[in-house]
Amino acid sequence: MKKIFAFNWKMNPQSLSQARILADLTRNYANKNNNAEIIICPPFAYLNELKNLKTKKFKNLKIGAQDVFWENSGHYTGEISPKMLKNLGVEYVIIGHSERRQHLNETDEMINKKVLAALKAGLKVILCVGEPLAIRKKGKKIVENFIGNQLKKDLKNLPLNSKSYILNSRFIIAYEPIWAIGTGDSDSPKDAVEIIKLIKKALNSKFYILNPRVLYGGSVDDKNIKNFLQYDKIDGFLIGGASLKIKEIKNIIKI
């Protein structure tokens, strides 16, 4: 199965012209690697312009959004609905990123509603889970319980036919240790794999997800990614800062 590289641009770049350049270069690199699926997740302002990057010629490139609301319409100033994204041609959406949990006070209840709404609309979900440093310091068992509770809350009330979401590759988990996000300090590959194994086990036994795909996210760059690629349990990566640097993009995709 292809490795997934989800590029989360966050609130970058600062102009459409810069976004076009970055997207075009990423697209060209992506087309040279048939063993990778590249997902570009730009800010909402650029989605309409960049959605046309995916063509038959550039089949390895997908477009994703960085967030979504749980209602399809209504009086929700500033929000984007699942149907809007679907009608725009967006394929993936990131939900529950640690920065939104931290800075925008997103709760597991809110994230759960977004997950259900996105799946119902036919979007593919990248659900982010992960522990803060205080939890990590308490040991593996505490981390396992913390992430297990996150999954339980975030995936509450999945429809009975939830297996079809996985069979159709419509659901991905991104494990992002919160203390590693944007700090330059990544988790050790060995420790990350142990947590990813626990996540896959929980998804399989508690949510009947037979073949879950789990990405690692947390200060991944072109220098440390090779260490993570040694472990086949890691199905890909959610990449932030490095996805904005042309040289790093090239080095990451060609691996």
Name the residues annotated as catalytic.
Answer: 97, 176
Mean pLDDT lowest among 33-42, 127-136, 170-179, 183-192 = 183-192
Residue 37 pLDDT more than 80?
A: yes
For residue 158, give the nearest of 199, 198, 125, 195 by alpha carbon.
125
Most trustworthy range by pLDDT among 3-12, 19-28, 180-189: 3-12
Residue 167 pLDDT more than 90?
A: no
Per DSSP, the three-state class of 132 is coil
Q: What's the pLDDT at 57?
A: 58
pLDDT digits (tens, 9 = 90+) for 188-246: 899 899 999 999 988 888 777 778 899 999 889 999 999 999 999 999 999 999 999 99
For residue 2, give the nearest of 249, 218, 247, 237 by alpha carbon.
237
We report the CATH number of the domain holding residue 81 as: 3.20.20.70
Residue 80 pLDDT more than 50?
A: yes
pLDDT digits (tens, 9 = 90+) for 113-123: 999 999 999 99
Residue 162 pLDDT more than 60?
A: no
The two structure tokens encoding residue 244: 């904005």
Question: Measured in Å, how far apart are the chain's first and last C-alpha atoms?
Answer: 15
CA dist 84 and 81 (Å) reads 5
| Domain hosting residue 84, numbered range | 3-254
Task: Report residue 141: phi and psi, to 5°.
Answer: -65, -40
| HEC sequence for 45-108 | HHHHHHHHHCCCCCCCEEEEECCCCCCCCCCCCCCCCHHHHHHHCCCEEEECCHHHHHHCCCCH
Query: Could you give the number of structural domains in the chain?
Result: 1
CA dist 135 and 121 (Å) reads 34
Q: Which residue in this structure is represented by tokens 């477009």?
A: 63
Q: What's the pLDDT at 238?
A: 97
Amino acid at 224: N
The answer to whether the CB of 95 falls within 8 A of the CB of 121 is no
The answer to whether the CB of 20 falls within 8 A of the CB of 252 is no
Burial 11-26 (b: 16+ CB within 10 A, else e): eebeeeeebeebbeeb
Percent of the chain beyond pLDDT 70?
A: 91
